[in-house]
Amino acid sequence: MDLMSGYKGVVGLVFGNENSTSNEDSYVERLLDRISNGKLAEDRRTAITELQSVVAESHAAQLAFGAMGFPVMLLVLKEERDDAEMVRGALETLVSALTPLNHAKGAKIEVQPALMNTDLLSREAESISLLLSLLSEDDFYVRYYTLQLLTALLMNSTHRLQEAILTIPRGITRLMDMLMDREVIRNEALLLLTHLTREAEEIQKIVVFEGAFEKIFSIIKEEGGSEGGVVVQDCLELLNNLLRNNASNQILLRETIGFDPLISILKLRGSSYSFTQQKTINLLSVLEIINLLIIGGRDADPGKDMNKLTNKATLVQKKVLDHLLMLGVESQWAPISVRCAALRCIGDMIAGDQKNLDALASKVLGEEPQVEPALNSILRIILRTSSMQEFIAADYVFKCFCEKNVDGQTMLASTLIPQPYSMTHAPLEEDVNMSFGSMLLRGLTLSEIDGDIQTCCRAASVLSHVLKDNHQCKERVLRIELEPPMPSLGAPEPLMHRTVKYLALASSTKNNDIKSSTIDNLYVQPIILKLLVTWLADCPSAVHCFLDARPHLTYLLELVSHSAATVCIRGLAAIILGECVIYNKSIENGRDSFTIVDTISQKVGLTSYFLKFDEMLRSLPFTNTDLVQHRKPVTRSTAASMAEIEDVDESDMSYQKNVDHPILSSILDIHFVNLIKSLEAEIREHIVDAYSNPKSKVAVVPADLEQKSGESEGEYIKRLKSFVEKQCSEILDLLGRNSILAGDLVKTGSQPEQRVSGGSDRVQTETLRRDLQEASTRLEMLKAEKAKVESEATMYQNLAGKIESDLKSLSDAYNSLERINFQLEQEVKSLKGGGSSTFPDVEAIKAEAREEAQKETEVELNDLLVCLGQEQSKVEKLSGRLLELGEDVDKLLVGIGDDVGMPEDGDDVGMPEDEDADDTE
């Protein structure tokens, strides 16, 4: 009763009519009492019919039923299985209680009774088990209403019901059995399984284990494949759920029934190739499933790449490229959404797979004798289509074809051979007989007469893919020269110069037609600028060709500071200027990198120039580059909108200034954005370095300051005066630079928001701060090292003094020994002078003693000399290190050794054989 009173309170709060709510409650309560306690079966059936009717029409009745009715209805389902009509009425009432009511004219209802009732019923796993057991009943309507009830629970409480069904033995098996039931039951079971398998990997595996693939394709074939109705769509949506991010299910499909049943749905039947909305949705669903197989699984799955490659190889073996080319290229009567999806599938199929790249390059379309390579047909779509979405999809094919495919790029570039002017401007219908390169060059040059700037821009997008990261192709296309409209107009013009001319033409059309100019500016100029950025990247010869025409640099400088240009246009123009600095190998005055940096500083200002990078990288096209990769699955709710792709309404955007076109998020892909980021960092570093360390304008050679032979005094003085004037001019120029930098620094300091935006001053300030910190750290290290060296030097000085003292003591001992020896010799001589004696041979004893003393002394002296040499070497190294640290070594050694090692005044008297001692000292 507490739950019931709570529901009554909510009803009163929501509806505000307490009497009305009380009447509804009492009516529902009386009906439930008749169902529970009625004696006559017919009266109980009538009561349950009336209850179902009132619950299906009233929010208050739904609330009241939720508070009181569930135990009664579940008791009927459990204990009165024999009365099919009662069970059927109970199920229908429960479905009505869980179905939201829409009252368009009434007040907005904050509390949804259907959601509250769903929550109540799904809390108990026993109630879900009871409902699943009803699927085995023989009565058709019992099974039908049970499936409807389970679907309603899933719609409002998905995760709770998924968990409950997983805990019930054979719960999913009972649902899968319904796919083999009568058509109406089967369709309800399909819808139920579609909701049940969304984002539930465990349920997906069980469903597949129960034979889902075979049953799904059997139903699709029975319903007529792509020509079938919404049942085929539900089957494909269920298949999509089972394969999305699930590599194991993809492998199981590939190794059991294969991809043939899926690919067969793409086969167009009949002669008229009519496309209804339902057929379009079915084909989009199949194309999405093929895309899931190409992706392979979750990014974290270690076997994703292998599964993806195997899926691609299997699909190509089954001739899926032929069906995709038929839908995307040959069937121009197909809906644009199908053509775009097929083209994107072709791009994903060939991306990073050399065999598939070669397969597409060898494909030919059409029938004899009118056949042409598939790539030519895709290029024609790019140049001719009126749909922006189709252009993006076809351009994506060439992006995937050229990505890391050097051979493919070279093959396409080899066909870029200029045609005669008459062939270049032949009627559009004759392009069937042209090569790929001729058609592309025609698109790049067609706009000169016809004014079709968009065609030129689309051709430029394809050319940028051909040139990307391929130096050989860049050099080859650089040599292409186009004939002028009339020979009298001058020499042939390089293709790069013609491209820049059309870039300028796209911005100058505003003088004639503001509306069309604004539309063109939104994406035409960025795409042509993208081509130039790609072309100039790491290609000094392309930079040289670009700078051959002086107006090019002037035009870019104007474009960077043009207030009417979009953020993306200004930023890309700034990147091209930066490429002219970092890839500039010219040494000519006026075209070298230093001159360009100087021009940027004077015309734009380094702070303003660097801000263009920050603004561009924060713009939508550069922060929203992964829209194409994240595609929403085709469901019943999204199918209709996806089947009817509409291009951007240019009429609504025509007067929006400084807003980038939405398609740029697709054209400026993640690889190009990464290229821009790497170039931006390199450009900042080079420009700051060039500006802060300008090249010397005067070559200072000492010989120039000397008077040359035969040169008069007047000429010599004149030359010196000219030299001094040049130096003064250079000094004034450097002072001017310093004042500009100081002004920028002051301006940045007074505008904190500009400093935060990341301009040149911020870069320089951060660099100087880092350099100062590093210098401080280095100084502290040097100080510590200096103190350590001084300590070691003092220690070694003390050690050297001790060694010298020991050496002096040894020398004194040796001298004392010599004196004793001399005295003994004198005594021996005196004894010999006194006559014969019985003493032994003193001379022999003396010689022997002297020899032994000399040997011992020499050994000790040699050891001391070795030690002294080692210590002397250390002292010399320390002296050198002290000199590096700025210490005066002589001052440190003052007074050391002056009184050590010198013989005393009487030591050398009477020592005729002191040569060894002198050598030692």
Residues whose CB falls within 8 Å of the CB of residue 363, separated by 6 or more in sequence, listed in order = 321, 322, 325, 373, 374
Question: pLDDT (tens digit, 9 = 90+) per residue, 843-860?
Answer: 677 777 778 878 878 877
Q: How far apart are CA 722 and CA 728, in angstroms?
A: 10
- HEC string of 805-841 equals HHHHHHHHHHHHHHHHHHHHHHHHHHHHHCCCCCCCC
Give Cα separations from 303 to 247, 251, 268, 298, 613 (angstroms).
8, 11, 34, 9, 40
Where does residue 719 rank: exposed (0-12), middle (13-18), buried (19+ CB within 10 A)?
middle
Segment 104-110 mean pLDDT: 48
Flag whether pLDDT at 482 surpasses 90. Answer: no
CA 374, chain centre distance (Å): 31
Question: pLDDT (tens digit, 9 = 90+) per residue, 770-808?
Answer: 667 767 776 777 777 677 777 777 887 788 788 888 888
Backbone dihedral region of 897: left (phi > 0), alpha (psi from -120 to 50 degrees) or beta? left
Flag whether pLDDT at 612 surpasses 50. Answer: yes
Q: How far apart are CA 445 and CA 449, in angstroms?
A: 8
Query: How much is the pLDDT for 107?
Result: 46
Flag whether pLDDT at 685 surpasses 60. Answer: yes
Query: How much is the pLDDT for 123?
Result: 82
Flag whether pLDDT at 4 surpasses 50. Answer: no
3-state helix, strand, coil in the chain (%, to 5): 75, 0, 25
Give Cα separations from 703 to 698, 708, 709, 720 (angstroms).
14, 9, 12, 12
Among 834, 853, 851, residue whose Cα is nearest residue 843: 851
Question: pLDDT (tens digit, 9 = 90+) per residue, 212-233?
Answer: 999 999 999 999 888 889 999 9
Asked if residues 37 and 75 have their Cβ atoms less than 8 Å apart, the reply is: no
Query: How much is the pLDDT for 639?
Result: 66
How many Cβ atoms sit within 10 Å of the Cβ of residue 739?
10
SS3 903: coil
Highest mean pLDDT range out of 119-128, 184-193, 290-299, 885-894? Answer: 184-193
430 DSSP 8-state letter = G
695 DSSP 8-state letter = P
Sign, Cα dihedral of 833, 836, 837, 843: positive
Helix (H) or strand (E) run with residue 373 in it: strand 370-373
pLDDT band at 762 (very low <50, low <70, confident <90, very high): low
Residue 275's φ and ψ, nearest 5 degrees, are -125, 105
Q: Tokens 């019919």: give the residue.
A: 49
Flag whether pLDDT at 862 surpasses 70. Answer: yes
Helix (H) or strand (E) run with residue 748 in it: helix 713-750
Q: How far apart are CA 355 and CA 561, in angstroms?
A: 47
Flag whether pLDDT at 915 surpasses 70. Answer: no
Q: Tokens 């070694």: give the residue.
A: 796
Query: How much is the pLDDT for 28?
Result: 87
Among 546, 525, 526, 548, residue whose Cα is nearest residue 536: 546
Helix axes 406-414, 436-445, angle to 10 degrees: 70
Residue 16's φ and ψ, nearest 5 degrees, are 75, 0
Asked if residues 455 and 447 have their Cβ atoms less than 8 Å apart, the reply is: yes
Q: Which amino acid is at 332?
A: Q
Helix axes 388-402, 453-467, angle to 10 degrees: 20
Strand partners, 366: 371
Where does residue 170 rank: exposed (0-12), middle (13-18), buried (19+ CB within 10 A)?
exposed
Flag whether pLDDT at 567 surpasses 60. Answer: yes
Question: pLDDT (tens digit, 9 = 90+) per residue, 718-732?
Answer: 777 777 777 677 676
Query: How much is the pLDDT for 806?
Result: 81
Least confident segment among 455-459, 818-822, 894-898: 894-898
Backbone dihedral region of 681: left (phi > 0), alpha (psi from -120 to 50 degrees) or beta? alpha
Helix axes 70-79, 84-97, angle to 10 degrees: 150
SS3 593: helix
* DSSP assignments along 655-678, one per residue: T-TT---TTHHHHS-HHHHHHHHH
Q: How far apart are CA 578 and CA 681, in angstroms?
A: 10
Q: How far apart are CA 754 and CA 608, in angstroms?
A: 10
SS3 366: strand
Backbone dihedral region of 631: left (phi > 0), alpha (psi from -120 to 50 degrees) or beta? beta
How many Cβ atoms sit within 10 Å of the Cβ of residue 465?
23
Question: Token pair for residue 338?
Answer: 């199908």
Q: How far apart are CA 322 and CA 313, in angstroms?
A: 14
* DSSP assignments along 187-240, one per residue: HHHHHHHHHHTTT-HHHHHHHHHTTHHHHHHHHHHHHTGGG--HHHHHHHHHHH
Asked if residues 882 and 772 have their Cβ atoms less than 8 Å apart, the reply is: no
Q: How far apart are CA 653 and CA 279, in angstroms?
A: 33
The number of C-alpha atoms within 13 Å of 664 and in the hemisphere containing its C-beta is: 28
Query: How much is the pLDDT for 103?
Result: 54
Q: How far apart are CA 68 and CA 669, in angstroms?
A: 59
Residues whose CB falls within 8 Å of the CB of residue 259, separated by 6 or more in sequence, listed in order = 253, 293, 314, 315, 318, 320
Question: pLDDT (tens digit, 9 = 90+) per residue, 360-413?
Answer: 999 998 887 778 899 999 999 999 898 889 999 999 999 999 999 999 999 999
Residue 85's φ and ψ, nearest 5 degrees, are -70, -40
Strand partners, 493: 482
Query: How much is the pLDDT for 737?
Result: 66
Give Cα separations from 207 to 161, 213, 278, 878 (angstroms).
16, 9, 26, 82
pLDDT band at 893 (very low <50, low <70, confident <90, very high): low
pLDDT band at 909 (very low <50, low <70, confident <90, very high): very low
